Structure 1
């Protein structure tokens, strides 16, 4: 008897179906990418480019750590201080200091070439937050940060960066953490009101544990009327993405956190 082939699961199609339940305001856009760390399966919804806002701070620190590895050195005390402020508190002054240290857009793009980000372009020399990226690229970055077998970041660099992402300030614990079991998350969020339109870019990337399983999730959005609307969109998209892999299991505790104004 011929062996029965296992059915092929189209996770992208399942995610597209799940996203039909997510309310998106007129004029807004959202893209999401998710990786099931247990099975290695992934799914992506949307391939458009988005402003990073402050999620690029993870990329900036990854670039700095990669440069330090290449030079065979540890981060300086000043660099570590800036890194804590940049990731845990989303401090923009600290981010600007490290943006200059890595060589601005040129330095970021060079690091991203090694980290496997193919559709990310560093912002202008003065403002890192206008770096353009895709959800798929942010998932590639998360794989590097959270320990892909072929990660360019060594174990110490990964542990340092993920440790900071697990200690973000209380008022920034929203976004992909909406599906997390208790405190099982490590994340970086980004929010940016666009001066010309008054509309908001709202993004969230990180690792979460939901229903006992680990996931990497990246959600990007723009055109949101308010920060609160954007946070709600990002969290709904996160739930939809994780549901692709948790369908048929017990539903995870919601654990959504209310965003504070910043």
Structure 2
């Protein structure tokens, strides 16, 4: 057992964990820290700093126009060759998060429009199931394309159906050293594996997850070759319909969507503590390709609380709504003339 005195409810893609207060978890102690006070204004500012994703996609500070808005939690920063696009993205992302209790983080990159946005990009969050493409990347780095039939079956179950048993089978076969080797090769320096071996408590950042999407959709063969990258994207493209919510919401209907979501209800002291009703961590990441599309979006959330009078699933729904609000703002601003796809059923090709 990975934790002593732990009860665990496992369904597809979901881990509900109740850990006694005496159990040590390798992540930082789970204490609800208050968000910083909101800034007095939400004015757009010119900004010299260029987010990391803009540099990664070949943009230069001389050609990009940067904007930022201070909201609770920090600045939302967008940069683009098109200053009007940077303005509207910054405003609409801020608007989508303005009245949300979720603690969110996000990264957007768009190679086509040469645009990027970040918010709390380097803050750590419990990964839940968005760690699973990392595990598959580590498997391919270790085995290259020489996967056994059993490993291919496990990989499909892990990504397409978000099966946790399949994930732990591959996690245990690889071991932390090989998974860490992939993280190092991929430049995901701020991702930390859980020392107790619980995959859903891997500490991730929105920036590192965006690096993973950039790696998978790019043309750099130094970590994984084109066939290996395509294999991961194909499985993310085939994720079952009821798990295709979140960042795909509002995406252009003619885009190919490669998605992986994660959700985890984590509690250290049980549901009797007034503040701890089972804080939901809800995350979503997608790469959008096909035709002229070449962009990625990562949104991570926590602090999706469950009111005393409500079903525990309310926290999960709240986190998903926060993510989809950000996603719709992003897709609408990037491609306002395209027909959006309904949430939960992103376009396929």
Q: TM-score band, normalised by the shorter chain?
A: 0.7 to 0.9
Instruction: Tell me what 2:116 maps to.
Output: 42
1:171 positional shift: 1.1
Number of positions where the alignment pairs a residue of Structure 1 with one of Structure 2:
248
The 1:6–1:23 alpha-carbon spacing in structure 2 relative to 1, beyond 3 Å, is: closer
Q: Distance in 1 between matches of 2:153 and 2:291?
A: 35
Give the structure 2 partner of residue 192 of structure 1.
264
Q: Which one of 217, 223, 238 corresponds to residue 167 of structure 1?
A: 238
Q: How does 1:1-262 map to 2 (within 5 A)?
A: 8-10=64-66, 12-13=77-78, 14=86, 15-23=89-97, 27-47=101-121, 48-69=123-144, 74-104=146-176, 106-149=177-220, 151-182=222-253, 184-196=256-268, 197=276, 198-208=278-288, 213-225=293-305, 226-243=315-332, 245-246=334-335, 249-250=336-337, 252-257=339-344
Q: 1:6 to 1:159 in 2, by over 3 A?
A: closer
CA-based RMSD = 2.5
- Residue 26 of structure 1 and its aligned partner are, at CA, apart by 6.1
**Structure number with higher strand proportion:** 2
Return 5+ residue gaps in structure 1 as ranges: none
Flag the 1:162–1:211 CA change in 2: closer, same or farther, 3 A: closer
SS of equivalent residue, structure 2 residue 178: helix
Runs of 4+ in 1 over 6 A off after TM superposition: none
How far 1:162 sits from its partner (Å)? 0.6
The structure with more radius of gyration: 2
Q: TM-score, normalised by structure 2?
A: 0.65
- Give the deviation of 1:118 after TM superposition: 1.4
TM-score, normalising length from structure 1?
0.85
Which is bigger in relative contact order (C-alpha 8 A, separation at least 6)?
1
> Which ranges in structure 2 are unaligned for 5 or more consecutive residues?
1-60, 68-76, 79-85, 269-275, 306-314
The answer to whether the 8 A contact 1:124-1:130 is kept is no
Given that 2:241 and 2:344 are in contact with CA atoms closer than 8 Å, whether structure 1 keeps it comes out as no
Give the whole-Å Cα distance in 2 for the aligned partners of 1:103 and 1:238. 34
